[in-house]
Amino acid sequence: MISAGIDGGSRAIKAVLLDCRTRKVVAGGVRDQGVDHDGLARELLDQLLKKAGLARSRIARLVATGYTRNAIGFADTTVTEITCHAAGVRYRVPKAATIVEIGGQDSKLLRLNADGSVRDFAMNDRCAAGTGRFLEVVAARLNARLDGLGDLARAAKSPAPISSMCVVFAETEIIGLLASGASPADIVAGVQASIASRVASMIGREAKPPVVFTGGVAMIPGMADALAAALKTPVEIAPEPQMTGALGAALLACRQACGN
């Protein structure tokens, strides 16, 4: 029996096929998001099925999650990304107690119970200054690659303070810093520290370890270190952090299909 999970994020669509008997991933993939959320999700799922040599009829249940989950009309049901990320991270890191998820348009802080269920959470979906979109804007402004921001941050000598709480004003602030002679390395280090500080402010109190970092931004070098500094505790990056939402959705689909 095969289950499927699709995470329709704001910037990318992720999908996972899972063997319900072994709880092992059969196939997984990512593609850029677009206008036709349902069609793109179908195409990605069909690609994974073809890669795995499986027919669509083998899927016992499909759960959709993420920003565009309600637009994926062929899913059997939808589940919030809070629940799916918790399930996906605990599968990868069984002792995880606190989860930080930063995606393209929002950031989340999850506290888990001993059994892996979500005790409470905080979410920032009002401002892009604490999300991956901020890093995209910075990379474009500095004519740098996203995956090269970590190298820049490591070369910083004096991280630039970024005080603006809005990505539009923060971009203006960055332009001013460049004009005043601040180095790209110092600006990137300051931006990463700013994002980490915004996430830390959602916690309100000490983050219980182990703290696991997930979401697309976790793949950007330097962000985990910035987050650890802001939280004053070690931070572990989840394996394949961009995929934890889709993995969690597939795991929940398995439970629904099998009744356990």
Is the same domain home to 107 and 233?
yes
The verdict on 22 and 123 lying in the same domain is no
- pLDDT(132) > 80: no
DSSP 123-156: EE-S-GGGSHHHHHHHHHHTT--GGGHHHHHHT-
Quick one: 112 and 161 in the same domain?
yes
Task: Please check whether residues 206 and 128 belong to one and the same domain.
Answer: yes
Produce one character per residue of 107-118: b if its CB has 16 or more CB atoms within 10 Å, e if not: bbbbbbeeeeeb
pLDDT digit string, tens, across residues 200-228: 888 776 789 999 999 988 998 889 999 99
Q: What is the pLDDT of residue 220?
A: 87
Residue ranges making up the domain that contains 117: 95-237
Tokens of residue 210, six digits: 């182990």
- 126, 163: one domain: yes
Q: Which of 106-120, 137-151, 221-235 has the lowest mean pLDDT?
A: 137-151
What percent of the chain stands above pLDDT 90? 60
Phi-psi region of 3 (alpha: psi -120 to 50; beta: other; left: phi over 0): beta
Instruction: Find the CATH number of the domain harbouring 134.
Output: 3.30.420.40
For 40, 53, 114, 119, 165, the CA distances from 10, given in Å and listed in that order, are: 13, 29, 30, 25, 21
Q: What is the pTM of this model?
A: 0.90
Judgement on whether residues 158 and 227 belong to the same structural domain of the protein: yes
Domain check: are 170 and 116 in the same one? Answer: yes
Q: How do residues 69-99 score in pLDDT, each as one tens digit?
A: 999 999 999 999 999 999 999 999 999 999 9
Together in a domain, 230 and 101: yes
* Strand runs labelled E in the chain: 2-8, 12-19, 24-32, 59-65, 77-78, 98-102, 107-112, 118-124, 211-214, 235-237
Same structural domain, 108 and 225:
yes
CA 151 – CA 131 distance, rounded (Å): 19
**What is the average per-residue pLDDT within 44-66?**
96
Nearest by Cα to 161 from 197, 118, 207, 210 = 197
Q: Which of 37-51, 124-138, 146-160, 182-196 has the lowest mean pLDDT?
A: 124-138
Domain count, the chain: 2
